[in-house]
Structure 1
Amino acid sequence: MSEKITAELRTEFGKGAARRIRREHKVPAVVYGHGNEPIHLTLPGHDTMMAIKHGGANALLELDIDGTAQLALTKQVQVDPVRRVLEHVDFVAVKRGEKVTVDVPIVVVGEAVRDTLVVTENATVQVEAEATHIPESFEVDIAGAEAGTQFLASELALPSGTTLLTDPETLIVNVTAAQEADLGETDTDAAEDEAAAEGATAEEAAGAAEGESAEGGDEE
């Protein structure tokens, strides 16, 4: 479902113009696609931020551009790392019923059995879906999963009209025994113990050498 946003055509460009737009709590944006020239827009900052948050990674917005509705799929979002506000948004123009290729995030739910390590091997999968029916995410339920359990892309529940483009044999989530993850720490601990032992031996040797030197000095 698309969120409706009123957009203004933008005629000023460059960093100075972008800063002026942001000072007014608005966002510069561009819509690409369908063989047309890019459309440069100014969008309301708060409404656009909320629409993108609500729509997720592949938010679909219905932009009202001078009274003409344009469906736009979010492709790239730039956010200020400090103030956490939108700085710029790139969209791709789409049409109702049109198929688009998107990366959909994986969400892991539930808890595996104790003493296991759950690793998300691939955080997204690529699918083809109708522009107005893009899945927000795919859930992988690991409740009660034991060590050795693997979840493949082919096991994801896809809604009607959505086609998996990622290799079906792609490993999405891997559940392993926790001690397997501790092997690296064990090796590190062993290496640290060995280094400590070598250091102690070196100190003892140095001490012995100093003792011998002192004895030699007494003889002189």
Structure 2
Amino acid sequence: MSSEKITAEPRTEFGKGAARRIRREHKIPAVIYGHGSEATHVTLPGHETMMALRHHGQNALLELTIEGKTQLALTKQVQVDHIRRVIEHIDFVAVKAGEKVTVSVPVTTVGDAAADTIVTLERNEVAVEAEATHVPESLEVSVEGVVAGTIITAGEVTLPSGVTLVDDAEVQVVNVAAAPTAEQVEADLEAAEAEAGIVHEESDADAAEAAAEEAGDEAAASDAE
């Protein structure tokens, strides 16, 4: 995983008011936590940082230049305003090249499972240990041709060289199940509606059809007599 080079500014003002002023200037307040050292508060360029996170994912590694000094920083938490869709704050962890870190990496499925199956991702992320500069952006799990009833565990996920699993190897990550039939879907829907107390009013067409069937039954009974 390559790092993005970004120039950061030291931050000396704190609090909600200062953070709002920073955001109005289209910048992002952030903090870098070290290994037992004091946290470093910085301000980052908004657009440049947003593009770096979008490109490298939730574990983006940034090479921050702060007053002429360079610091590798691994993204740990990103606070986003989900209404305005802007980044409000970022937490980083200071790292060094070659240092091992534990991170949660997103899981994606690739390929098409066997016909009439449903693929469910039971875990969106898997915890692994990797060098800070070689954290995978995602882990792919192939479901090509996989038949119903197959469960893929964390221990069966293929990891890149140098990456080791931290999660329990028996944790279910992907579940391939048989797709329900139309009759099963309809029965489940009826059961759910009955449990919720939902009653459908009979339409005019259904009422007319029922009346016609009843009249036909009466006529057949009369003929039989």
Give the TM-score category using the shorter length.
0.7 to 0.9
Tell me which protein shows more helix as a share of its residues.
Answer: 1
Aligned residue number for residue 4 of structure 1: 5
Per the alignment, residue 95 of structure 2 pairs with: 94
How far did 1:150 drift? Answer: 1.6
1:139 aligned residue: 140
Q: Which SS does the other structure have where 1:160 is aligned?
A: coil
Contact 1:117 1:181 in 2 (8 A): no
SS at match of 2:78: strand
- Distance in 2 between residues matched to 1:133 and 1:13, nearest whole Å: 33
Instruction: Indicate the residue corresponding to 1:40 in structure 2.
Output: 41
Cα 1:182–1:118, aligned 2, differ >3 Å: closer, same or farther? farther
Note the alpha carbon deviations across 1:99-125, whole angstroms, 9 max, x for none.
000001101111212221111111111
Give the whole-Å Cα distance in 1 for the aligned partners of 2:53 and 2:80. 12
Which residue of structure 1 lines up, in the alignment, with residue 159 of structure 2? 158
Task: Report 1:22-171 matches (<5 A).
Answer: 22-171=23-172
Q: 1:185 to 1:131 in 2, by over 3 A?
A: farther
Describe the shift of the 1:51–1:116 C-alpha distance in structure 2 as closer, same or farther (beyond 3 A). same
* Structure 1 vs Structure 2 CA RMSD: 2.3
Partners of 2:94 and 2:198 lie apart in 1 by 63
Q: Is the 8 A contact 1:145 1:175 kept in 2?
A: yes
Report the Cα offset of residue 11 of structure 1.
0.5
Q: Deviations over 1:160-188 (max 9, x none)?
A: 21111111121110101112898576244
Question: How high is the sequence identity, in percent, across the aligned residues?
Answer: 64
Change (3 A) 1:147 1:11: same
1:213 aligns to what? none
Tell me, in whole angstroms, the C-alpha distance in 1 between the residues paired with 2:179 and 2:106. Answer: 25
Q: Which residue of 1 aligns with 2:209?
A: none
Measured after TM superposition, the shift of residue 83 of structure 1 is 2.1
- Listed as ranges, the gaps of 5+ residues in structure 2 are 203-225
Gapped runs of 5+ residues in structure 1? 201-220
In structure 2, distance between residues paired with 1:139 and 1:162: 14
Name the structure 2 match of 1:177. Answer: 178
Residues 22-61 of structure 1: CA deviation (Å, up to 9, x unaligned): 1111000000121111101000000000111111110000
Structure 1 Cα separation of the partners of residues 60 and 7 of structure 2: 16
Tell me the TM-score normalised to structure 1 length: 0.83
Are the aligned partners of 1:75 and 1:92 in contact in 2 as well (CA < 8 Å)? yes
3-state SS of paired residue (1:93)? strand
Question: Residue 63 and residue 190 in structure 1: after superposition, are their counterparts in 2 closer, same or farther (change >3 A)?
Answer: closer
Aligned length: 199
CA contact (8 A) 1:31 1:38 kept: yes
